[in-house]
Amino acid sequence: MAEFTMDLNDEQKEVRDWLHGFAADVIRPAAAEWDEREETPWPVIQEAAKLGIYSLDFYAQQFFDPTGLGIPMAMEELFWGDAGIALSIVGTGLAAVGVLANGTEEQIGTWIPQMYGDVNDVKVAAFCSSEPDAGSDVAAMRTRAVYDEAKDEWVLNGTKTWATNGGIANVHVVVASIDPELGSKGHASFIVPPNTPGLTQGQKFKKHGIRASHTAEVVLENVRVPGSCLLGGKDKLDERLARAREKAAKGGERVKNAAMATFEASRPAVGAMAVGTARAAYEEALEYAKTREQFGRPIIDNQGVAFQLADMRTQIDAARLLVWRASWMATTGKKFENAEGSMSKLFASETAKKVTAQAIQILGGNGFTREYPVERMHRDAAIYTIFEGTSEIQRLVIARTLSGMPIR
């Protein structure tokens, strides 16, 4: 088991510097343009694919880093460049994690490569869980999956929302309810292969931030997928549902649902994204404070500014420590006995909102304009406290874990 350490090894440092260079040289120069266009930055994704950053091999190497620091390190550097473009590059990863968390080895080998495509034909994937009436309340999910035994097919009907890459993806991973009476324990995840009839894109959302990332509804109308597209297989599903029904009357063994398994695996990574955005805003504010003069001296000479920067840096480093701890625990098989994954996501996302707001304040009127990137960073940071579990949900998870009580 790898010991927890804050010291990156030479290979990790090399990867970090490589990603930082890509973020500085390719992502940042394109950030303002694609934010204004509110379109998927395909040229940047393709450039990332050419360099090997947007690829299954790269993410697999980081995912299986024995220290657990590969993914958070990569997320921080890419999101330091720009959150919207970075999410377009890494958004496929959420669908990939959904397959890794719930799929068989055969399903992992078959579908994850198709999510990325290749250098000459770049593809993206989408993870579809949230619905118009089921965001934080996953038990309210209305999308249904019904098994057609005669044809060994699953029939999916429903509407998903807030899906990153929804409708433009090559592969969609869809969470649906098999047994509504079991609530979230009656859910399962399905692969919807490319060009499957009945899957269409609904509304594309015009967002406050991360505008270079495509977010849309996904509509499923009698979508038929082969039985082999049920992640984990039917035997495993039947066993899990039987166990859930047996435990339904009283407490007992906790059965994780498909969406939660994905989110638990990805929350520290989202925390790392938030750290990247916060760090970028802090660095902009620090440089501005050192060069901007008022009353004959740099504004950083004033305690009111200097103390803000001190707090910003302290909060960023604390957030990174929580993210790295959770990532290390997940990789080394240590249980989140105190909801450490949710802690990391909660603190890092709240830090990003606060730090980017402070950066605007330090830049004053300039910070409020689009001539400076902190305005965009502040808009982008708002999403971290919302997607993949709001801050309120993280606090609920933490409180329930610490108390053992069904806090509502």
Which positions are catalytic? 388
Distance CA 121, CA 172 (A): 17
Token representation of residue 71: 């993914």
DSSP codes joined into one string, 323-382:
HHHHHHHHHTT---TT-HHHHHHHHHHHHHHHHHHHHHHHHGGGGGSTTSTHHHHHHHHG
Contact (CB, 8 A) for 278 and 316: yes
Which amino acid makes up residue 337?
A: E
Distance CA 78, CA 75 (A): 5
Distance CA 92, CA 401 (A): 30
Residue 215, beta-bridge partner list? 164
b/e sequence 66-102, b meaning 16+ C-beta within 10 Å: ebbbbbbbbbbbbbbbbbbbbbbbbbbbbbbbbbbbb
Helix axes 28-37, 42-51, angle to 10 degrees: 150
- 3-class DSSP state of 38: coil
**Cα 260 to Cα 185, 257, 263, distances in angstroms:** 10, 5, 5
Which residues are within 8 A (CB) of 134 and not within 5 positions of it... i.e. 6 or more apart? Answer: 140, 141, 142
b/e sequence 145-183, b meaning 16+ C-beta within 10 Å: beeeeeeebbbbbbbbbbbbbbbbbbbbbbbbbbbeebb
